Amino acid sequence: MTDLHDVVAGLRAARDDWRAAHPRGTEGTRELPSPRTVETIVEQLKGALFPMRLGPAQLRHDTEDFYVGHTLAAALQALQDQVLLELRHASRDAPMPIAEAHDRAVSHAREFALALTSIRRLLDTDVLAAYQGDPAARSVDEVLLCYPGVLAMIHHRIAHQLYRQGLPLLARLVAELAHSRTGIDIHPGATIGARFFIDHGTGVVIGETAVIGERVRLYQNVTLGAKRFPVADDGTLAKGQPRHPILEDDVVIYAGATVLGRVTIGKGAVIGGNVWLTHDVPAGGSVSQARTSEGQGVS
């Protein structure tokens, strides 16, 4: 059997080499948020947002508020601890005083808590859009419990709030939990309006700077991506530049379509399946695959 002492020593050497090349704190404690803890927090938040459907099976209406309060208290305390870890990690090159970091973590947790009502109301519009937009849906409860697009949006609404608060690592952890479960990849920076519906969902990709209006519908394998990546003066990729599409209200994009770059798809436009699109589309316009005898298929 392999001598574990040699394996342990080899792994220690690999860690030491990495840490020498990428300096971190020297306190000897964990510096980064925990994906497992974040997953627990998200599950608690989902239960608090939809207690009678995503909460515990034995919950009753007369104990609903008690459950929500108790669950939120635990989730927000855990979130505060994870925020503190992200803040300290983000300031590792110029360490933030621990008292300041703690106060900022408390403030972040409070701001997030105050946003939960708005998040719930937005999610109600997403659930209703999915129910009304799918003839196979039997009830709003089925949509909430079963639809991957709705699950992805629950995570996105939570993640986007964290992103807006300047907590990109925690936001990305929340988003990737949904990505791993649904195959829907929504960057937490994407701005998405009310009544958003992803039908089927598998393979959908929405980039960081995408802006999506209200009542927009996407089908599976749709990509809202970047056409090119600007380069900074030092040769690295420029971060945060607007590079993904803008979808105005009431846009529909069918399965397999790819829309790239900072283009604008006007209000009410329809993009057909498997289209590759890198230019603006006017309001009310439609784009489909080219036809051999009917021109480009663009109107």
pLDDT at 49 over 50: yes
pLDDT of residue 233: 75
pLDDT of residue 91: 85
Output 83-87 pairs: Cβ under 8 A, ≥24 positions apart. Answer: 83/108, 83/109, 83/167, 83/170, 85/30, 85/31, 85/32, 85/33, 85/34, 86/32, 86/33, 86/167, 86/169, 86/170
Q: Which residues contact 238 (CB under 8 A, 6 or more apart)?
A: 229, 230, 231, 232
Name the nearest CA neighbour of 76 among 199, 161, 179. 161
Domains of the chain plus CATH, in order, are 29-183 (1.10.3130.10), 203-299 (2.160.10.10)
- The whole-angstrom distance between residue 298's C-alpha and the CA centroid of its chain comes to 32
pTM of the model: 0.90
Give the torsion sign (CA, 150, 155, 160, 165): positive
Q: What is the pLDDT of residues 96-136, one digit of tens each?
A: 898 999 999 999 999 999 999 999 999 999 999 999 999 99
pLDDT bin (cut points 50, 70, 90) of residue 95 is confident
Mean pLDDT, range 83-96, rounded to an integer: 88
What letter would DSSP give residue 97?
Answer: P
pLDDT of residue 30: 67
pLDDT of residue 1: 59
Q: Lowest-confidence range among 54-63, 154-163, 209-218? A: 54-63
pLDDT at 293 over 50: no
Mean pLDDT, range 240-262, rounded to an integer: 96
Mean pLDDT, range 179-195, rounded to an integer: 98
Q: What is the pLDDT of residues 192-213, one digit of tens each?
A: 999 999 999 999 999 999 999 9
Q: Which residues contact 299 (CB under 8 A, 6 or more apart)?
A: 285, 286, 287
pLDDT bin (cut points 50, 70, 90) of residue 290 is low
Average per-residue pLDDT in the chain? 92
